[in-house]
A and B are shown apart, each in its own frame.
Chain A
Amino acid sequence: MSNSVIQTNPLREGLGGRAMPEPCTLVIFGATGDLTHRKLVPALYNLAADGALPPTMSVVGFARRDKSDEIFRTELEEAARKYSRQTINDELWKSFAASICYHRSEFHDLAGYESLAVRLAEMDAARGTRGNRLFYLAASPDQFEVILGNLRKSGLNKAGDGGWARVIVEKPFGTDLPSARHLNDLVEGAFPEADTYRIDHYLGKETAQNIMVLRFANALFEAMWNARYIDHVQITASEPLGVEGRAGYYDKSGALRDMVQNHLLQLLCLTAMEPPTGLDADAIRDEKVKVLRSLRPIEGAEVSKHVIRGQYGAGAINGKRVAAYRDEANVDPESMTETFVALQINVDNWRWAGVPFFVRVGKRLPKGGTEIAVHFKSVPPVLFKATGEAVDDNVLVIRIQPDEGVSLRMSAKMPGSSLRIEPVKMDFHYGTSFGKATPEAYERLLLDAMSGDATLFARRDEVEEAWKFVDSIRAAWQANPEDLAFYASGSWGPAEAEELTKRHGTTWRRL
């Protein structure tokens, strides 16, 4: 090694893992909220405990309530002890907490941002963070405009010499295409697209990341990953929970916007996309956008044929009576908001021609789980026809949560002198094979944003293409508001949803 300036850390080479991000200051807007306490701070602590955070990194909580640094730290410690996947080590917490401080300001008060800028400059000098800033918008979406505007006005959106300034935006990324464009324009007015990180925490889950590995690292699957061998795909996200404390938001949003526009279309993209040219962020996101552009629009009269929406009524979950959606606190008693959506999506490209993707999401369903089930075509009905034995199709199931893993259903001969064919399942469980200490999605995503890796974040065109698809469905619903089916809590949704799959000669999978 010569005396000249070295660009890469030779001690890092061959160590595995990734380079430590440059030291930076993370500013969380909405620092007293649920997301900060339940997810962000536990994730940051776990990263620090794993030695994955830059040691001189700082965290600044920005919020309206009046409190001291000390009280803020104490609140975060309580939350970390409750929600962290690792037990809190007192010594490590002490060291981590020393990097946390609180900045009180109203979001609309420019002076608060100007004083933040002064404070950050002081911290840069004291801790060597060199003007690197990561702003996390964990506040309510209706505050994004004012926060972004003030970041721009105060100059905080501009990186210092040799540093960087990035922003993480939590979903929802708008409520429809125009609002998403408006939000994206606002973000773009403050931060270039390359420094914008739109979080979809589903993409940070191990199993979601494993979809690409499963597809492209196993010749067995990718060779058959097309319309020639696959009959249809089912993507399900079900939960027994109702709206819980989110009624205020959910009643305005509904399942289509809350889940389909982001999480489920992202999973569909990972399932349907072509092999990217590389593993860099844009190569992968280019392929995902191509899928979104290939989605056959569902418009006008087609909507009632291909999309079923439902709302839960009273019923029972795990043996307990539960109220109807319209009877939940803070829900409009005449609400027409959907808590269930099932839709048939067609991907009009060479690979997927004629292969429907059935997508369903719902609340107050009997069982919680998110999965992608790839149903392969039947074998020719020749060899076993004479025996009268039905041969079940092969199904590859990728379980996103809980019990992350992959299973493959295949047919096997039952032992005995007669020929009886039964389905059997080969099962891979992450928890069984790799233990329990899987990092939380937010750990991965925070570290990625600090490192400037946007692979697992949604790009502007992805978000807007997804809204374009979803908006035409919503437009038809608005034109025909009576088109809402009701289902009992604890059932698998409205009976009409069964018709979708039945038309294709199949049924929804039992989770």
Chain B
Amino acid sequence: MEAAVNEPGMPVEIGLIDRELGRLWESGDDTKTRASLLNLVIYTEEPEALDSNTEMIATIASQHAFRAILILSDPHAATAGARAWISAHCHLADKGGHQICSEQITFQLDGESASSLPNIVFSHLDSDLPLCFWSQAEFREPLDEQLWTWVDRLIFDSATWKNPVEQFALVQKILSITDGGMVLCDLNWTRLHRWRLALANVFDHSAALSCLPKITRVRIACDRGERVKALLLLGWFSLQLGWSLRQLLSENCFLAQNGKQIAFEILEADGAGIASVELAGEEFCFKLERPDTAGFFHASLHAPGIPDCAMTIGAGPDRPGDILLAELSRGGRHPLFAGALDAIRPLLPDMVTRQ
């Protein structure tokens, strides 16, 4: 791992980080202000992720101030080693040249030193501020209870997991360690927020709303690697519309409270993420699609009582930094995520297969 890391700041001795950070600010002129709303720890085991994470932090720090602690770990390295760097991301706050800065502390932990992760985190937090921990690596046992009980928000991305069934089970274990006090944030779920918002927006219309109990078919088209996301969306429909999962004639379907069967399909589509969602009943059909890389959705609705309509709805950006920023800015708990996940958990083993 020695040569893998570009220098992500000024190298410092780990024991002197606080002192060096203090010096960093003392040496600055009066035009710089340090700001922080939370501690954001990003843990990765991919050396190349350090650069992209640093770049992402530099971008979103201008919108959401925090102390960033980046940790690159290689628990399997033959030799133990621990290195650290400090840096600051500043942006102009006004025309007067005043700059707002967020701190970044970067650690590289190799071999045995990787086990000092909890200590590294605990000893470099900005006190009294919430701790968000984004694990970009997969969870593995044994779980460090002390670390997880300190975490306020656990961020992960189920889209990157090789074995979602196992990983969701481990996340559940972590949650139980904290007695449910920790907030779980799956960035895959966060990416669905704009989809869910667009769907809710269309069905706020009372004429469209009356179609919801008449749904008999759901069809989601997505990239092959995005089936977890499609399932989570399906789980959300199930949760919100009161559908329960049934197996009829060896086919999975949902059963609505009015006894209607709702067939569902997850189709493969080219492109990134979800391409389209179709909801249909005997008299109505609705389709929401997002053209590849477009910043908007196209929605079309054919339903009795209202004229056929086609609409364009803003979809917002969805680069990794945008998604993380959306998560940090929105805050709060995600009770629907847990419900949606529970609703489709039985489907995970069969429907999420990885190459």
Q: Do A and B come from one complex?
A: yes
Partner-B contacts on A (CB < 8 A): 1-6, 9-17, 19-23, 48-51, 54-56, 89, 91-92, 94-96, 125-128, 130, 403, 429, 431-437
Q: Is the CB of B296 closer than 8 A to any CB of chain A?
A: yes
On whether the beta carbons of B314 and A9 are closer than 8 Å, the reply is no
Question: A6: which of B210, B295, B330, B335 is its contact (CB, 8 Å)?
Answer: B210
Bound CA span A8–B59, Å = 39
Interface of B is mostly: mixed
* A-B contacts besides A16-B332, A17-B197, A436-B62, 13 pairs, CB < 8 Å: A1-B212, A1-B242, A11-B200, A14-B240, A19-B204, A21-B204, A22-B206, A49-B314, A51-B194, A54-B204, A56-B205, A127-B309, A433-B35
Chain B: interface residue count, which band? Answer: 35 or more
Among A13, A23, A54, A55, max chain B CB count under 10 A is at A55
Q: A1-B241, A22-B206, A55-B311 are in contact. Are A434 and B329 (CB under 8 A)?
A: yes
Q: A1-B258, A9-B209, A127-B309 are in contact. Are A51 and B62 (CB under 8 A)?
A: no
On whether the beta carbons of B203 and A9 are closer than 8 Å, the reply is yes
Q: List residues of B (49-80) whose CB comes within 8 Å of A's CBs.
A: 62-65
Among A5, A12, A14, max chain B CB count under 10 A is at A14
On whether the beta carbons of A20 and B63 are closer than 8 Å, the reply is no
Please indicate the chain B residues that have their CB under 8 angstroms from the CB of A128 in the complex: 205, 207, 306-307, 309
Bound CA span A465–B138, Å = 63
Question: A48: which of B198, B240, B307, B314 is its contact (CB, 8 Å)?
Answer: B314
Query: Mask for B297-329, Cβ within 8 A of A = 1, else 0?
Result: 001000000110101111110000000000001
On whether the beta carbons of A432 and B294 are closer than 8 Å, the reply is no
* 11 A-B interface contacts by CB (under 8 A): A1-B242, A2-B257, A11-B240, A14-B336, A95-B311, A130-B206, A431-B94, A433-B35, A434-B37, A434-B64, A435-B62
Closest 8 CB pairs of A and B: A435-B63, A55-B311, A95-B312, A20-B204, A128-B306, A11-B200, A49-B314, A12-B200
On whether the beta carbons of A6 and B213 are closer than 8 Å, the reply is yes
Please indicate the chain A residues that have their CB under 8 angstroms from the CB of B198 in the complex: 51
Expressed in whole angstroms, the minimum distance between the Cβ of B254 and any Cβ of chain A is: 11
On whether the beta carbons of B212 and A11 are closer than 8 Å, the reply is yes
Please indicate the chain A residues that have their CB under 8 angstroms from the CB of B199 in the complex: 11
Please indicate the chain B residues that have their CB under 8 angstroms from the CB of A5 in the complex: 210
Bound CA span A3–B210, Å = 9
Please indicate the chain B residues that have their CB under 8 angstroms from the CB of A51 in the complex: 194, 197-198, 201, 313-316
Our count of residue pairs bridging A and B at CB distance below 8 angstroms stands at 138
Question: B294: which of A10, A21, A91, A403 is its contact (CB, 8 Å)?
Answer: A91
Q: Is the CB of B162 closer than 8 A to any CB of chain A?
A: no
Please indicate the chain A residues that have their CB under 8 angstroms from the CB of B209 in the complex: 6, 9
Report the nearest A residue to B257, measured CB to CB.
A1
Q: Is the CB of B120 closer than 8 A to any CB of chain A?
A: no
Q: Is the CB of B100 closer than 8 A to any CB of chain A?
A: yes
On whether the beta carbons of B314 and A50 are closer than 8 Å, the reply is yes
Bound CA span A429–B257, Å = 50
Question: A56: which of B35, B311, B316 is its contact (CB, 8 Å)?
Answer: B311
Q: List residues of B (208-263) whose CB comes within 8 Å of A's CBs.
A: 209-210, 212-214, 240-242, 256-258
Bound CA span A130–B205, Å = 10
On whether the beta carbons of B330 and A16 are closer than 8 Å, the reply is yes
Expressed in whole angstroms, the minimum distance between the Cβ of A307 and any Cβ of chain B is: 35
On whether the beta carbons of B314 and A55 are closer than 8 Å, the reply is no
Q: Is the CB of B31 closer than 8 A to any CB of chain A?
A: no
Please indicate the chain A residues that have their CB under 8 angstroms from the CB of B348 in the complex: none
Please indicate the chain A residues that have their CB under 8 angstroms from the CB of B312 in the complex: 55, 91-92, 94-96
Query: Mask for B31-45, Cβ within 8 A of A = 1, else 0?
Result: 001010100000000
